[in-house]
Structure 1
């Protein structure tokens, strides 16, 4: 649109300029010719020959009559309602005026034809320039869109995505900058993953020694406190190792048919205040260990940051984990919807390592599943895990809900 507007403005300006110059040239030429004819008519009248000029014509325009009093010869264009008339007049005595006139219609028709030609040429040029600008804009827009889409893929975690630079303009420079950013980001993340994995591996040996040493301590409250802390530390190290394996994309998925209800019950078997409800069961071909890890993390996260009781509802390939606490904080829920869980960030102000949702999301991504986070209208946070439904088996045959 900008190119089209510029083309129209340029064509209009050129058209107006050509129109004015041509009109001025036509009027100057017509006046000069009629003035020469008036001079010839005056000579013919003095020699007694017939002349097209008239003496004191009654239709002589008043402006011409007034102007000829103080000038030798006068030319004037009189525009009427129907057509214009060009006059030339001169005094041949103190009381007599010799005048010559002709229609100015040929010049007006010629100028109108020129205006039509300029309008058609300007319109054609505007269309051609607009099409050229449109093609150029579409091409640049596609390149910019491709760079933007690649940047979005990189932001979503596809660090192998790259833009193919084409040309040497600003968009090509933008594409090169996006590729450079992706390379630097990938190198930094790889370094962080390597450090995290190395630290976790180095911690496994002393943590294992601490677990063994705690088992040798005499029973007592101090021993219980140390054992609880060592147990939490061991769980944190295992969580960090799990995240490092998922980041390195070396985790393997071992699938087998398994009932969704059995996986849900096994996942929460060691957790108090967790109830399992079976609305409809399903047999899924998936990795049961990873599904149980996801459900266990979701239930533990609900107990830690929400409020009991925690309800696990199995509805075929869909499992919902709900607590009765205040729900997800609004800022955390916005982050979960935008980019997923962030490591070491929780919705609670008191404690928590913040790896539970991160591990659950990573495991779900490996399984091709989908996790959805929301707050229920009647209170409490709810997380929904949706797996691929391979074989539907219907209701739970009247079996009572298991704890």
Structure 2
């Protein structure tokens, strides 16, 4: 069974390759077919015209010679007979007429002195007979014409081409002017037909050779035209793959050379534009990183002061002036927001610069989620549905960032209870799925595609709302670095559902970092700080 399936797969792969080659050469085939059709049409037309002209020339030349000889014999031989000849006289005259240079058969018809119709045949009893003459021709020969200035003779010579048993004949007839026998002549045109058949075969062979020559010429032309097109296609694919230094060799001054030059100019302009954009992007990332680092020093001092002020607010002595208490609380709140924003900006900068690394560890997902919820005092507001014993090799700190953002976002915008569930996705136990569901109004359909965008807030009228707008985007980046994904949707029963899918073993995604990376990559702060930054992605929903 395995060998049969392997054979079927091989056959399917071969068929796919053949179809691919057929598609690749379709333009070549079309060029060959078009060239062939044009050559065939031209050759057939030329051969047909040549055959028709030669046929008319051959038949007319033979016909004129025979009719001229027949007319001369009728004047010399038949005209010398008496008005009412005997059958012997007709027979002898017909034989003499048939012995002319054209070698045609002769039939003479007349009436003897007793009014009886007599016949003279050059071929004897089984020779040319009156029944062999078409009736229309006999009628025309016996019809007397009115003599006028334009028509000097009452009778004329008429002829007709007929085919008997596959052999073409020229049949003619006329009467002796002034009284005498009526003569008919039959001349075989078989030699001329053979010559015309030979001509037709020659023209057919010439047409075939012209068609083959046209196909070869079309093949050569197609190769000449399609080779630069193929090179252009390969260069375009390389350019699409990001190899912006791709250029075409330009030779000649034709349209294909102009196309190659245009491609090179476009590629050069694109390379410069991308380089400029990359430089600006690098400068922007450096600016954000430098700004974030520069802000951390004054923020540390400001945070220390605000902590002291907060302790005084919480003190029971009530030593703080009630008039400045609201201002102090505002300063404490805004300082925390600014600290979270700086930490998030530093984390985003790491992702953009590609310096973010995984520090993997084997964790029990139920314990990890419980620790995240407990650190933020969310135990009463979150319903956890996770069995212990589901282990995964992931980065615990980054998973904490993801969970803090998703759960904090659900609590802020969806409302309690928030349900967190964990399950294994398939029979191979390759992935784990963590769902965070709230019981709020859900996410508007026009907001769903943008919930993971940076700095996106659903309500433009609340730009100063709590949160930076980076929480969900940072959660998505942390999922991506694990090789996972986060999706957002609305539950049919109401509320929003965020689904996190992660591979259970992320070892294949990263090399084990050194000790410096283990201690230095801490962009999201401690778990207690992360929850605050994760409550902005669903702002206004």
- Relative to the length of structure 2, the TM-score reads 0.56
**Structure 2 matches for 1:194-343, cutoff 5 A?**
194-217=286-309, 219=313, 220-269=325-374, 270=376, 272=378, 273-279=381-387, 281-316=389-424, 317-334=432-449, 341-343=452-454
| Separation of aligned partners in 2, 1:236 and 1:204 | 11
Deviation string 1:232-262 (CA, Å, 9 cap, x unpaired) is: 1211121111101110112232222222222
Deviation string 1:60-99 (CA, Å, 9 cap, x unpaired) is: 58589979x99x9998766x79858474869796575766
Q: How many pairs align?
A: 378
- 2:90 maps to none
**Structure 2 gaps, min length 5:** 1-25, 78-95, 108-129, 146-150, 251-255, 314-324, 425-431, 507-541
Q: Specify whether residues 196 and 123 from structure 1 end up closer, same or farther in structure 2 by C-alpha distance, changes over 3 A only.
A: farther
| Separation of aligned partners in 2, 1:135 and 1:308 | 72
Q: Specify whether residues 222 and 330 from structure 1 end up closer, same or farther in structure 2 by C-alpha distance, changes over 3 A only.
A: same
Of the three residues 340, 344, 366, the one matched with 2:481 is 366
| Separation of aligned partners in 1, 2:401 and 2:504 | 19
Higher mean C-alpha displacement, 361-370 vs 198-207:
198-207
Asked if 1:102 corresponds to 2:189, the answer is yes
Q: Specify whether residues 101 and 263 from structure 1 end up closer, same or farther in structure 2 by C-alpha distance, changes over 3 A only.
A: same
Q: Specify whether residues 36 and 162 from structure 1 end up closer, same or farther in structure 2 by C-alpha distance, changes over 3 A only.
A: same
| Separation of aligned partners in 2, 1:64 and 1:305 | 113
Asked if 1:388 corresponds to 2:503, the answer is yes
**Structure 1 gaps, min length 5:** 154-159, 392-403
Higher mean C-alpha displacement, 167-176 vs 230-239:
167-176
- Contact in 2 for aligned 1:261/1:278 (Cα 8 Å): yes
Q: Give 1:365 shift.
A: 2.2
Of the three residues 122, 128, 133, the one matched with 1:59 is 133
- 2:522 maps to none
Look up the SS of the partner of 1:387 in the other structure: strand
**Structure 2 matches for 1:8-157, cutoff 5 A?**
9-35=37-63, 37-38=65-66, 41-42=69-70, 45=73, 49-50=99-100, 51-54=102-105, 58-59=132-133, 62=136, 85=168, 87=170, 94=177, 100-103=187-190, 106=194, 107=196, 111=200, 114-115=203-204, 118=207, 122=211, 129=218, 144=233, 147=236, 151=240
Q: Give 1:278 shift.
A: 0.4
Q: Specify whether residues 278 and 117 from structure 1 end up closer, same or farther in structure 2 by C-alpha distance, changes over 3 A only.
A: farther
- Contact in 1 for aligned 2:292/2:346 (Cα 8 Å): yes
Look up the SS of the partner of 1:314 in the other structure: strand
- Contact in 1 for aligned 2:238/2:246 (Cα 8 Å): no
Q: Specify whether residues 290 and 115 from structure 1 end up closer, same or farther in structure 2 by C-alpha distance, changes over 3 A only.
A: same
Q: Give 1:314 shift.
A: 2.0
Of the three residues 269, 275, 295, the one matched with 1:183 is 275
Higher mean C-alpha displacement, 109-118 vs 226-235:
109-118
Look up the SS of the partner of 1:268 in the other structure: helix
